[in-house]
């Protein structure tokens, strides 16, 4: 029999159910679900989505803690021919309402407590997970999944929209990156190939599905028929228990995850994690001291350092045997991908610093509904022959790198002011708008400074001037406002109050001067 | 440990949560913190450092799990048992 071709996420699910139907697909707490269960649950929910009026190409939001149900939701939305929008559960009501409006969410599938926190009318329709919500009119997700589906699948092609994932945006609100079905499927093919994933893998899923790298563990697992173990708590004791009890073979993390895991150093030393075949890091550089500790405490585990930006899904990885090149090395291009280093429109020389430009099948469709932002980041391949008429779109990453004589790439910094904290990319403008929205701040500048504890990479430093009518306890007002309206990673670690912020001739903030004065 | 002491510990934890996590909104003693994502892992690490210092205790790695940190009540009981 010829294997089923996989052009879409739904094809991946169908193939996994055909080839690995009896094997465990998802483990969530004490519950374990096979690929046949996943196919059936997806069918039930897809049927309910179609009956609720969700049309081909519609956007359906998922605002949930990661769970079996949140995974069923992504696959069901795809089966119904719609695009799923995983909303980071750490986002607050204002950002969620913005996202719902920005990509015109037709229906939101949400945990009840999250649905209750939204302003009434934020979304046109909802399915809830958990007890009945305060606002009537939504449908119980558990009942939907328990009811049989009709087996209807809306046909999609690989160039159709698959998902929209939101990252921090420079306009002060999150910015949606649109991915095709092909982006999702090849992202799984490429990564599972170099991680050598098989149906025998048991992958621990600790990262949010709203993050392209976190979503990738799920798509890789489905692609090969492996088991994905859902891990909500990243507390050190829970992480270790999750790894041991499930005999996890693969773990993907961001730098803070390793700091949390390494708190268990004594236990790791006494009883090594013998099942753990590989770990992968992305979303920022691991501090060298943590990388050394991981190598010492996980001697039998292969360590893959990866680099990617949401706009191109995944870009490079450093093979485990090259790890002595240091934690600034981001390796070489992932399979079926080329990384260009561009300096003044030409290919940079060996050792010369240039911008990392990504070409390959994981290049996303662009920013949802934002031509201007899309044109800034996506564009023609600068090195293609002109006869190709600029048909190929590449991603200009904004990351500065250099390539050594062996072809390995090294991260040298950013050519913009993006802050990178705990695996999240944070736009300074988004933090600044939040600060000003507190009502007591006149001007604000947010910048990333090195985390003194070395846990999250950078922390946010805010330099502000206060309004003339600001109250005595203005700083407390700001802190309370950030806690209520921003995800935790966006909250400034320190706030410096000045009389006036330095500005350039055009009246814009003079960010280099602010950085020299406060973050040198 | 006396009931009043347990309540003092709980009040200290609620104060920390108000300042770092929930803002104006008060957390109830049985409200779920970790399983709902309200308290992130990194915030919990900060809370543990605070509790270690404030109460002169040493929370070990195998105690550093969701069931000990999911509610104000659970955290207060853990702290109280350590001070014993």
Domain's final residue, options A165, A181, A197: A181
Q: Which residues of A touch B41 (CB under 8 A)?
A: 233-235, 256, 260
Mean pLDDT rounded to a whole number for chain A:
93
Residue A477's H or E segment, with its range, is: helix A474-485
Q: What is the CATH number of the domain that holds A134?
A: 3.40.50.980
Rounded to an integer, what distance in angstroms lies between the CA atom of residue A353 and that of residue A339? 14
Domain's final residue, options A116, A150, A181: A181
Residue A237 lies in a domain: no
pLDDT band at A156 (very low <50, low <70, confident <90, very high): very high
Rounded to an integer, what distance in angstroms lies between the CA atom of residue A231 and that of residue A211? 15
Backbone φ and ψ for A91, nearest 5 degrees, come out as -70, 155
Domain residues for the domain of A477 are 420-518
Which residues lie closer than 8 Å to A229 by C-beta, 6 or more apart? A26, A27, A202, A203, A204, A205, A242, A246, A248
Total domains in the fold of chain B: 1
User: Which tens digit of pLDDT belongs to each residue from A320-365?
Assistant: 999 999 878 999 999 999 999 999 999 999 999 999 999 999 999 9
B23/A266 touch (CB, cutoff 8 Å), yes or no: no
Task: Look at residue A270 and give its three-state secondary structure.
Answer: helix
Quick check: A472 pLDDT over 70?
yes
Instruction: Enter the pTM of the model.
Output: 0.91
Burial class (CB in 10 A: 0-12, 13-18, 19+), B18: middle
Quick check: A424 pLDDT over 90?
no
> Is-contact A118 A93, C-beta < 8 A?
yes
Q: What is the CATH number of the domain that holds B21?
A: 1.10.1200.10
Q: What percent of chain A has pLDDT over 90?
A: 77
Rounded to an integer, what distance in angstroms lies between the CA atom of residue A156 and that of residue A472? 58
Residue A311 lies in a domain: no
Strand partners, A179: A163
Q: What is the mean pLDDT of residues A396-424?
A: 89
> Is-contact A144 A162, C-beta < 8 A?
no
B36/A267 touch (CB, cutoff 8 Å), yes or no: no
Interface residue of B28, B41, B46 to substitute, partner A, most A CBs within 10 Å: B41
Rounded to an integer, what distance in angstroms lies between the CA atom of residue A343 and that of residue A353? 7
Q: Which residues of A touch B61 (CB under 8 A)?
A: 236-237, 240, 263-264, 266-267
Min Cα separation B36/chain A (Å): 7
User: Which tens digit of pLDDT belongs to each residue from A125-154?
Assistant: 999 999 999 988 999 999 999 999 999 999
Q: CA–CA distance from B40 to each of A307, A392, A430 (Å)?
A: 24, 41, 21
Burial class (CB in 10 A: 0-12, 13-18, 19+), B45: buried
Which residues lie closer than 8 Å to B66 by C-beta, 6 or more apart? A232, A233, A235, A238, B34, B35
Total domains in the fold of chain A: 2
Quick check: B26 pLDDT over 90?
no
A484/B63 touch (CB, cutoff 8 Å), yes or no: no
Domain residues for the domain of B38 are 3-83
> Is-contact A314 A335, C-beta < 8 A?
no
The candidate with the shortest Cα–Cα distance to A63, out of A40, A85, A79, A94, is A85
A256/B23 touch (CB, cutoff 8 Å), yes or no: no
The candidate with the shortest Cα–Cα distance to A228, out of A82, A31, A474, is A31
> Is-contact B51 B57, C-beta < 8 A?
yes
DSSP symbols for A298-328: -TTSEEEEEE--GGGS--EEE-GGGGGG-TT
Residue A290 lies in a domain: no
- What is chain B's percent helix, strand, coil content, to nearest 5? 65, 0, 35
A233/B41 touch (CB, cutoff 8 Å), yes or no: yes
Residue A85 lies in a domain: yes
Neighbours of A349 (CB within 10 A): 12
DSSP symbols for A190-252: HHHHHTT--TT-EEEE-S-TTSHHHHHHHHHHHHHT-EEEE-----HHHHHHHHHHTT--EEE
Residue A136 lies in a domain: yes
Residue A86 lies in a domain: yes
Rounded to an integer, what distance in angstroms lies between the CA atom of residue A162 and that of residue A178? 8
Q: What is the CATH number of the domain that holds A512?
A: 3.30.300.30
- What is chain A's percent helix, strand, coil content, to nearest 5? 35, 25, 40
Nearest residue on chain B to A90, alpha-carbon basis: B37
Respond yes or no on whether ipTM tops 0.95: no
């Amino acid at each position: 029999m010829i294997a089923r071709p996989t052009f879409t996420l739904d094809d991946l699910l169908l193939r996994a159910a055909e080839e690995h139907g009896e094997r465990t697909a998802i483990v969530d707490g004490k519950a374990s679900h096979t690929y046949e269960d996943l196919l059936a649950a997806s069918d039930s929910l897809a049927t309910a989505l179609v009956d609720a009026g969700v049309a081909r190409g519609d956007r359906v939001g998922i605002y949930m803690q990661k769970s079996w149900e949140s995974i069923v939701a992504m696959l069901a939305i795809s089966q119904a021919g719609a695009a799923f929008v995983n909303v980071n559960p750490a986002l607050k009501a204002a950002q969620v309402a913005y996202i719902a409006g920005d990509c015109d969410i037709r229906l939101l599938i949400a945990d009840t407590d999250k649905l209750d926190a939204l302003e009434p009318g934020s979304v046109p329709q909802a399915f809830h997970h958990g007890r009945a919500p305060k606002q009537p009119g939504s449908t119980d997700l558990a009942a939907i999944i328990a009811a049989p589906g009709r087996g209807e699948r809306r046909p999609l092609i690989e160039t159709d929209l698959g998902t929209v994932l939101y990252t921090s945006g420079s306009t002060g609100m999150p910015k949606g990156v649109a991915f095709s079905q092909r982006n999702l499927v090849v992202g799984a093919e490429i990564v599972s190939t170099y991680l050598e994933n098989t149906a025998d893998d048991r992958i621990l899923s600790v990262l949010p599905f709203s993050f392209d790298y976190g979503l990738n563990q799920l798509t890789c697992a489905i692609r090969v028929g492996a088991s994905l173990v859902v891990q909500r708590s990243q507390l050190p004791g829970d992480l270790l228990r999750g790894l041991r009890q499930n005999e996890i073979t693969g773990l993907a993390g961001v730098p803070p995850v390793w700091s949390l895991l390494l708190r268990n150093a004594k236990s790791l030393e006494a009883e090594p994690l013998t099942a753990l075949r590989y770990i992968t890091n992305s979303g920022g550089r691991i501090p060298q001291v943590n990388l050394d500790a991981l190598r010492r405490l996980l001697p039998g585990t292969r360590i893959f350092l990866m680099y990617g930006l949401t706009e191109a899904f995944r870009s490079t990885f450093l093979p485990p045997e090259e790890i002595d090149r240091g934690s600034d090395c981001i390796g070489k291009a992932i399979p079926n991908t080329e990384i260009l280093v561009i300096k003044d429109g030409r290919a940079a020389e060996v050792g010369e610093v240039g911008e990392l430009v990504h070409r390959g099948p994981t290049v996303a469709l662009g920013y949802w509904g934002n031509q201007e932002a899309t044109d800034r980041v996506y564009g023609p391949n600068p090195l293609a022959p002109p006869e190709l008429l600029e048909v190929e779109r590449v991603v200009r990453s904004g990351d500065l790198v250099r390539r050594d004589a062996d072809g390995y790439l090294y991260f040298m910094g950013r050519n913009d002011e993006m802050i990178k904290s705990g695996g999240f990319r944070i736009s300074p403008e988004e933090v600044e708008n939040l600060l000003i929205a507190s009502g007591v701040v006149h001007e604000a500048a947010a910048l990333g400074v090195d985390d003194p504890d070395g846990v999250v990479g950078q922390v946010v430093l805010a330099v502000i001037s206060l309004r003339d009518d600001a109250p005595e306890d203005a700083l407390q007002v700001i802190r309370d406002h950030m806690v209520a309206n921003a995800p935790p990673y966006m909250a400034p670690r320190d706030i410096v109050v000045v009389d006036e912020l330095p500005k350039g001739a055009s009246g814009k903030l003079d960010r280099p001067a602010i950085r020299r004065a406060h973050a040198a | 440990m006396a009931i009043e002491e347990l309540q003092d510990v709980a009040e200290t934890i609620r104060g920390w949560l108000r300042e770092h996590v929930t803002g104006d909104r008060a957390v109830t003693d049985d409200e779920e913190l970790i399983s709902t994502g309200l308290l992130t892992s990194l915030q919990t690490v900060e809370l543990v450092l605070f509790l270690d210092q404030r109460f002169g205790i040493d929370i070990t790695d195998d105690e550093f799990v969701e069931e000990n940190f999911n509610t104000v009540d659970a955290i207060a009981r853990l702290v109280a048992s350590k001070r014993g």
